[in-house]
Amino acid sequence: MNDKTLFGLKEMGPACRPALLRQLREMLPDECVIADEAALRAYETDALTAYRQPPMLAVLPETTAQVAAVLKLCRELDVKVVPRGAGTSLSGGALPLADGIVLGLGKFNKILEVDFDNRCVVAQSGVTNLALTEAVQPRGYYYAPDPSSQIVCTIGGNVSENSGGVHCLKYGLTTNNLLGLEMVTMDGEILRLGGKYLDPAGYDLLGIVTGSEGLLGVITEVTVRIIRAPQTAKAMLLGFPDNERAGQCVANIISAGIIPAGIEMMDEFAIKAAEDFAHAGYPTDCPALVLTELDGPEGEVSELIEQVRTIAAGCQASFIKVSASEQERERIWAGRKAAFPALGDISPDYYCMDGTIPRRELAHVLTRIRELSNHYGLRVANVFHAGDGNLHPLILFDANDKEQLEKAEEFGADILRLCVAVGGVLSGEHGIGIEKKDLMPVMFNEADLQQQQRIKCVFDPAGLLNPGKVFPVLHRCAELGKLHVHKGNIPFPEIPRF
Amino acid sequence: MNNEHFSPELEQQALELVQWSVAEGKTLAIRGTNTKQGFGLPIKADCVLTMWRLAGICEYHPEELVMVALPGTPLAEIRQELTRHNQHLAFEPPSLNRLYRSDEEGTLGGVFMGNLAGPRRFKAGSARDHILGVRAINGRGELWKSGGKVIKNVSGYDMSKLLTGSWGTLSVVTELSFKVLPAPPVSRSLAVWGLSPRLGLALLAQVASTPCEASGLAYLPAAALAAIAQNDMSLKDEALTLIRMEGTEVSVAERVQAIHQWLPPACQHNLLEQAESALAWSWVCDAAPLFDEQRTPIILKISMPPADAWNLIRFIDELRGCLWYLDAAGGWLWVGICQVSGADKLHALIREVRAAAGSATLYRAPLPVKQSAGIYCFADESVKRLNEKIKHSFDPSNLFNPGRLGLN
Angle of CA points B381, B384, B386, to nearest 5°: 110
pLDDT, one tens digit per residue, over B267-287 is 999 999 999 999 999 999 999
Q: How far apart are CA B364 and CA A198, in angstroms?
A: 20
Cβ atoms within 10 Å, residue A403: 9
**To the nearest 10°, the Cα dihedral for A209, A211, A215, A221?**
60
Strand bridging mode B4-6 / B28-31: unpaired
Phi, psi of B111 (to 5 degrees): -60, -45
The nearest alpha carbon in chain B to A424 belongs to B150
pLDDT on residue B399 = 97
Of B251, B286, B321, the last residue of a domain is B286
Q: Within this chain, do residues B205 and B161 fall inside the same structural domain, yes or no?
A: no
Q: Within this chain, do residues B276 and B343 fall inside the same structural domain, yes or no?
A: no
At residue A6, does pLDDT exceed 60? Answer: no
Average pLDDT value over all residues in chain A:
92
pLDDT, one tens digit per residue, over A183-192 is 999 999 999 9
Angle of CA points B63, A146, B183, to nearest 5°: 30
Are B18 and B172 in contact by the 8 Å Cβ rule? The answer is: yes
pLDDT, one tens digit per residue, over A161-211 is 999 988 999 999 999 999 999 999 999 999 999 999 999 999 999 999 999
In a domain, B348, yes or no: yes
The nearest alpha carbon in chain A to B164 belongs to A204
- Confidence tier at A484 by pLDDT (50, 70, 90): confident
CATH number at residue B369: 3.30.70
CB contact under 8 A, A430 and B154: yes
* Helix %, strand %, coil % of chain A (to 5): 40, 20, 40
Residue A86: name the closest of A117, A39, A43 by CA: A43
Average pLDDT estimate for A229-243: 95
Phi, psi of B16 (to 5 degrees): -60, -40
Strand bridging mode B47-50 / B4-6: parallel
The pTM (predicted TM-score) of the whole model is 0.95
DSSP 3-state of B46: coil
State the smallest CA–CA distance between residue A388 and chain B in angstroms: 6
Which architecture characterizes domain A347-437 according to CATH?
2-Layer Sandwich (3.30)
List the single residue in A197, A297, A430 with the smallest CB-CB distance to B358.
Answer: A197
Of the CATH numbers 3.30.465.10, 3.40.50.2020, 1.10.579.10, 3.40.50.620, which one belongs to the domain with range A111-228?
Answer: 3.30.465.10
- Confidence tier at B104 by pLDDT (50, 70, 90): confident
- Confidence tier at A62 by pLDDT (50, 70, 90): very high
Q: Which domain holds residue B236?
A: 186-286
List the single residue in A210, A359, A485 with the smallest CB-CB distance to B158.
Answer: A210
Q: How far apart are CA A266 and CA A303, in angstroms?
A: 25
At residue B1, does pLDDT exceed 90? Answer: no
pLDDT, one tens digit per residue, over B175-213 is 999 999 999 999 999 999 999 999 999 999 999 999 999
Domain count, chain B: 3
Q: Within this chain, do residues B176 and B67 fall inside the same structural domain, yes or no?
A: yes
pLDDT on residue A490 = 52
CATH number at residue B251: 3.30.70.2190
b/e burial code for range B290-323 (CB count within 10 A of at least 16 → b): bbbbeebbbbbbbbbbbbbbbebbebbeebeebb
Are A329 and A323 in contact by the 8 Å Cβ rule? The answer is: yes
List the single residue in B158, B307, B376 with the smallest CB-CB distance to A207.
Answer: B158
In a domain, B35, yes or no: no
pLDDT on residue A50 = 85
Instruction: Report the number of secondary-structure helices (H) and strands (E) in chain A.
Output: 19, 18
In a domain, B32, yes or no: no
Residue A125: name the closest of A81, A96, A86, A162 by CA: A86
pLDDT on residue B340 = 67
Write down the ipTM of this complex.
0.96
Q: How far apart are CA B214 and CA B256, in angstroms?
A: 9
Interchain contact A138–B (C-beta under 8 A):
no
pLDDT on residue B235 = 65
* Residue percentage of chain B with pLDDT more than 70: 97
Residue A257, amino acid: G
Angle of CA points B187, B190, B194, to nearest 5°: 150
In a domain, B10, yes or no: no
Residue A220: name the closest of A138, A348, A122 by CA: A122
DSSP codes of every residue in B134-162:
EEEEETTS-EEEEE-SSS---SS--HHHH
Identify the H or E element spanning A269: helix A268-278
Residue B208, amino acid: A
* Residue percentage of chain A with pLDDT more than 90: 86
Kindly report the CATH number that applies to the domain delimited by A9-104.
Answer: 3.30.43.10
In a domain, B335, yes or no: yes
DSSP codes of every residue in B90-110:
TT-----TTTTT--SPPBHHH
Instruction: Supply the Cα-derived Rg of chain B in whole angstroms.
Output: 21
At residue B396, does pLDDT exceed 90? Answer: yes
The strand ranges marked E within A21-163 are: 33-34, 57-59, 80-84, 100-104, 111-115, 120-124, 141-142
Average pLDDT estimate for A230-250: 95
The strand ranges marked E within A340-478 are: 349-352, 380-385, 390-397
b/e burial code for range A328-337 (CB count within 10 A of at least 16 → b): bbebbbebbe
Greater model confidence, B139 or A344: B139
- Confidence tier at A9 by pLDDT (50, 70, 90): very low
In a domain, B382, yes or no: yes
DSSP state of A261: S
Of B122, B150, B182, the last residue of a domain is B182
Q: Which of A116, A204, A295 to mutate to test the interface with B (most CBs of B within 10 A)?
A: A204
Fold agreement between A111-228 and A347-437:
no
CB pairs under 8 A between A and B: 304
Q: Within this chain, do residues B282 and B333 fall inside the same structural domain, yes or no?
A: no
Residue A481, amino acid: G
The nearest alpha carbon in chain A to B152 belongs to A428
Contacts of B84 (CB under 8 A, 6+ apart): none
Q: Within this chain, do residues B199 and B320 fall inside the same structural domain, yes or no?
A: no
Of B286, B305, B329, the last residue of a domain is B286
Tell the CATH topology of A232-340: Alpha-Beta Plaits (3.30.70)
Q: Where are the domains of chain A?
A: 9-104, 111-228, 232-340, 347-437
CB contact under 8 A, A207 and B161: yes
What distances in angstroms separate CA A18 from CA A76, A99, A186, A311, one per listed residue?
15, 13, 21, 67
Q: Which of A120, A139, A199, A228 to mutate to test the interface with B (most CBs of B within 10 A)?
A: A199
Interchain contact A200–B (C-beta under 8 A):
yes
Quote the distance between the C-alpha of residue A138 and its chain's center.
28
Residue B321: name the closest of B297, B288, B291, B303 by CA: B297
Average pLDDT value over all residues in chain B:
94
Interchain contact A252–B (C-beta under 8 A):
yes
List the single residue in A448, A484, A486 with the smallest CB-CB distance to B146.
Answer: A448
Q: Within this chain, do residues B311 and B337 fall inside the same structural domain, yes or no?
A: yes
